[in-house]
Amino acid sequence: MRRAITPAVSLRPKPNDKIGVKALSRTPISRDLFRRACSRFATGVAVATVLDPDGRPHGLTINSFTSVSADPPLVLICLDRSCSLLTHFSSSGFYALSFLSEDQQDLSNRFAALPEGRFQGVAWKPGPQSGMPILDGSIGYMECSTHQTIVAGDHTLFIGQVEAANAEPEARPLLYYASSYQKIR
């Protein structure tokens, strides 16, 4: 016969409770406050790239990048679910990340603002493992196979297994902080 276990201490507040337990507010913060708070975290700037089924390159500027695991080597990027390139990233199975140098602010702006023709006149080479586009002059890159995708809120998270990478030892990164570009001083 099983007995129900009852906690030794009641979890309900009592009328004579001197501390007073209050539930946390469930009121969501505003989108503006959320964005302003996130802007206080400095990030590097990268361009995520992919090839469509016809072999044409596509890419966009991101600053939502993080390492996830060293064994196996996994990284994560986040793409807005309304992004016009989402279908290319979802169906490719591979993507690349080019980490921008402090001298590549123009490329960041180009891949963030132009709706089409982002690669027109931009030098790049195919990555050694998957052929995904790697931007010339970047301070480092990673070629990733898509390990997992997760829909979270208004974004899709792409967890990629790093298949190839390179890093320039003396390069200086382009940074983004407080809604503007920054450099290491």
pLDDT tens track, the chain, 185 positions: 444 444 444 455 555 556 665 666 677 889 899 888 888 888 999 999 999 999 999 999 998 899 999 999 999 999 999 999 999 999 999 999 999 999 999 999 999 998 888 999 999 999 999 999 999 999 999 999 999 999 999 999 999 999 999 999 889 999 999 989 998 88
Residues forming beta bridges with residue 143, ordered by sequence position: 96, 164
> Which residue, chain included where needed, has tokens 């790239």?
49
- pLDDT tens per residue, range 63-99: 889 999 999 999 999 999 999 999 999 999 999 999 9
Domains and CATH numbers, the chain: 31-182 (2.30.110.10)
> Which residue, chain included where needed, has tokens 């070629």?
143
Q: Name the pairing type of β-strands 73-80 and 133-135.
A: unpaired
Q: Which two tokens stand for residue 173?
A: 């990164």
Within the chain, residue ranges assigned H as helices are: 31-38, 86-92, 105-113
> Which residue, chain included where needed, has tokens 């990030």?
43
Give the Å distances, CA to CA, from 24 to 27, 28, 30, 104.
9, 11, 17, 44
Residues forming beta bridges with residue 73, ordered by sequence position: 70
